[in-house]
Amino acid sequence: MEKSINITVKVWRQKNAKAKGAFVSYKLDGVSTDSSFLEMLDILNEKLISERQEPIAFDHDCREGICGMCSLYINGHPHGPDDDITTCQLHMRKFKDGETVTVEPWRSNAFPVIKDLMVNRKAYDEIIQAGGYVSVNTGGIPDANAIPIGKPIADEAMDAASCIGCGACAAACKNGSAMLFVAAKVSQLALLPQGKVEAATRAKAMVAKMDELGFGNCTNTGACEAECPKSISIAHIARLNREFLCAKFKD
């Protein structure tokens, strides 16, 4: 049998990056516990529109935990209180009747607020553009057995590639560091033969761009790994450091 709860949604409202923001509370009754968090925000926006109030701006796309667009800070946690999921996969059954749910945008200097709960995550795109790709000609698609890659290595590369670039790692980090994101993108290529040709330039270019964009330094507190919706391991940060130092020694 479907259950419903009554909640208070305390939302950060901000017109743009330069305007001052503030929390505004809204009462919402009869929310189905089977609905997702974003569906709850849709219901709240319908209520606001019917009352001739401005709806809450928030970002989303696939609603399947793939794209990372639905990046919200919920009750003090990136993507909410559940583990290993994005905001769009969070369901209202994780909240209690009568609870106040606090919703904020990412808090990072590198992710300026566009409006309300939407932030500009272009900084991650710029880091990828700096070196998170393979530009050399690696030939056509080889036969599956032509380039033998051990299963443990292939699995680790795939685990790193599961990073969706949502920004939760930087938002959770007390230093606002993007090291876990950069490390995952470096790892997924550094582990494979196709990525080794540009390994040195990639590590240097991506770290330099990360520093240029104002992300903080990593102090290995592990908050990034704890809050990552895809459980990316901080072991990848060690690989990034090795790749970076090797590149510098070669210079």
Q: Give the contacts of 42 (CB within 8 A, at least 6 positions apart).
A: none
- CATH 1.10.1060.10 range(s) for the chain read 121-250
Is domain 121-250 classified as CATH 1.10.1060.10?
yes
The per-residue b/e assignment along 72-91, b for 16 or more CB within 10 angstroms, e otherwise, is bbbeebbbbebeebbbbbbb
Dihedral pair phi/psi, residue 116, rounded to 5°: 50, -110
Give the pair of three-digit tokens for residue 242.
């090795």
The torsion region of residue 220 among left (phi > 0), alpha (psi -120 to 50) and beta comes to left
Query: What are the tens digits of pLDDT across the range 155-185?
Result: 999 999 999 999 999 999 999 999 999 999 9
- Note the pTM of the prediction, 2 decimals: 0.92
Q: Give the number of other Cβ atoms within 10 Å of residue 23's Cβ.
A: 11
CATH number belonging to the domain at 4-114, selected among 3.40.50.2300, 3.30.70.2190, 2.40.10.10, 3.10.20.30: 3.10.20.30
- CATH 3.10.20.30 range(s) for the chain read 4-114
Query: What are the tens digits of pLDDT across the range 223-236?
Result: 999 999 999 999 99
> 3-state class of 70 per DSSP?
coil
Q: What angle do CA 109, 62, 171 make, to 5 degrees?
A: 20
- Residue 1 is predicted with a pLDDT of 58
pLDDT per 10-residue tile (average), the chain, 251 residues: 90 95 97 97 98 97 94 96 96 97 95 96 96 84 77 93 96 96 96 90 96 95 96 96 92 81
> 3-state class of 227 per DSSP?
helix
